Amino acid sequence: MKVVILAAGVGSRIRPLTDNKPKSLLPIGNKSILERMLENIEVAGIRDVIIITGYLEEQIRNFTYKNFKNLNFTYKRNDIYSETNTGYSLLLAREFVGAGDFVKFDADVVFEFKILKKLINCPHSALCIDRNINLEAEEVKVRVDESGKIVEVGKSMDPKLALGESIGIEKINSDAGKVLFAELEDLMKDKANYSRYYDDSYPTIVKAGLPMTAVDITGLKWVEIDTHDDYELALKTFDQS
């Protein structure tokens, strides 16, 4: 199992906090977002990590090298991070992942270890889903069948049909990874698709008939930090940890 962390973005919606610091290194209590994430990865027993960098990348490289000697880091810079989105960044991890399974994190998600444990224990590709969310246009929504298999995923689907929101923590097995990276490669041949998100390609996995499961993490602690309100929520949620 390998880990892919997408950490190339500027975090413009949370400026001025990110004027001189990448969002992943913002403090949540006495630890940064990235530090909490990497500690969870260590506890899970995973050692191989690629970080897709871009904005203020040297801060991320220096922090990880200094503080996590037990992890094997690979860094891949998205040289056009200001022109692209997460779909382009994820494609840069293709060679690192190879034919194996991987867990993918957005670098702005704070979460407790139980979430990662539940995800890793899932035998198939899986998305972590929270049912206790007011679903709007921005959320990546997920619909499942009676067995929990994902049959639809995306931002545009009808919220009334959705089980909940995908929180940006996923496990992708080798077969699904081949489909995913092939789709992203095809998309990124056209610069008009540089703004696409990685989850825009998840429906291709579902349509290919490959098993992708919803891992219900409702009630467990997590916060995706996009705005100042999100940051304040993260500080309150993890203030004792």
Per domain, the residue ranges of the chain are 2-237
Look-up of token digits 């001025």: 16
What's 129-193 look like in SS3? EECCCCCCCCCCEEEECCCCEEEEEECCCCHHHCCEEEEEEEEECHHHHHHHHHHHHHHCCCHHH
The CATH number that domain 2-237 falls under is: 3.90.550.10
Cα 140 from Cα 199, distance rounded (Å): 8
**Cβ within 8 Å of residue 34, ≥6 positions away:** 5, 7, 24, 25, 60, 63, 64, 107
Pick from 175, 237, 161, 230: which is nearest to 206 by CA? Answer: 175
Q: Is 197 exposed, middle or buried (0-12, 13-18, 19+ CB in 10 A)?
A: middle
- Could you read off the pLDDT of 42-101 as tens digits, one per residue? 999 999 999 999 999 999 999 999 999 999 999 999 999 999 999 999 999 999 998 889
Please give the biggest Cα pair distance in the chain: 47
pLDDT reported for residue 241: 57
Q: Is the pLDDT of residue 23 over 60?
A: yes
Q: Is the pLDDT of residue 138 over 80?
A: no
- Could you read off the pLDDT of 188-238 as tens digits, one per residue? 999 999 998 888 888 888 888 888 888 889 999 999 998 999 999 999 999
pLDDT reported for residue 240: 61
CA 86 to the chain's CA centroid: 9
Please tell me the pTM assigned to this model: 0.91
pLDDT reported for residue 84: 93
Q: Is the pLDDT of residue 167 over 80?
A: yes
| Segments in the chain forming alpha helices (H) | 33-43, 57-67, 86-91, 94-97, 113-121, 174-187, 202-207, 228-237
Torsion sign (Cα): 188, 190, 195, 201: negative
